[in-house]
Amino acid sequence: IDNSLQQQQQQQQQQQQQQHQNQTHVQQAQNNAIQSKIGGGGGGGGGGNRPVKDNKPRGRMTAYAFFVQTCREEHKKKHPEEQVIFAEFSRKCAERWKMLDKEKQRFHEMAEKDKARYELEMQSYVPPKGTVVGKGKKRKAFKDPNAPKRSLSAFFWFCHEERNKVKALNPEYGVGDIAKELGRKWSDMDAEVKSRYEQMAEKDKARY
């Protein structure tokens, strides 16, 4: 009896943790959708704490956040007048996500591209002078200078190799435009050519 009670408690805890994670991903998708509508900047300039507008790149999205965003857009098209109930919508998204297998791949690819977009944009991002960090902000975690460099994905190896070529062919492109073009080229690439970058990623993963 004690063992069965413990198992039930563990299952309940796992379900609560999963629900919390799903709600976080849904909120992330909603926040990113709002940011894209108002211009894509991550900083915002409300109140006296931020006298200068901070055009920090929009945060990267997870595969599940992209999935939730897609579900939300589909729901809006089918039921434009219907108000979305957050808890119910979150539960249905979680159920659909469990049922997917091969379909998940495209959302993981979207997340990979968005990660590369974010990292490319962050390379050229300079915080505005006079920016004051508001109260309650968490300080950045200490970074160990001796820690090994993280491994790069196949898509990021491709970006590292092709970025300058895209920039040379399109000098008018900004960082966001370059990231979009790299994402398009990666999507159109043959599996045979793509495998070279996947091998590079595997070697780098082993190194890390």
Helix then strand then coil, % of the chain, to nearest 5: 65, 0, 35
The Cα 118–Cα 65 span in angstroms is: 15
CA angle 111, 113, 118 (to 5 degrees): 90
The Cα 78–Cα 92 span in angstroms is: 16
* pLDDT tens column, 125-176: 778 776 554 555 555 556 777 888 888 888 888 888 998 999 899 989 888 8
All structural domains of the chain: 16-44+51-128 (1.10.30.10), 149-208 (1.10.30.10)
The Cα 100–Cα 23 span in angstroms is: 19
Q: What is the pTM of this model?
A: 0.49
For the purposes of burial, counting CB atoms within 10 Å of the CB of 77, is it exposed (0-12), middle (13-18) or buried (19 or more)? exposed
Query: What is the chain's mean pLDDT, rounded?
Result: 76
Q: Are 58 and 118 in contact (CB under 8 A)?
A: yes
pLDDT at 196: 92
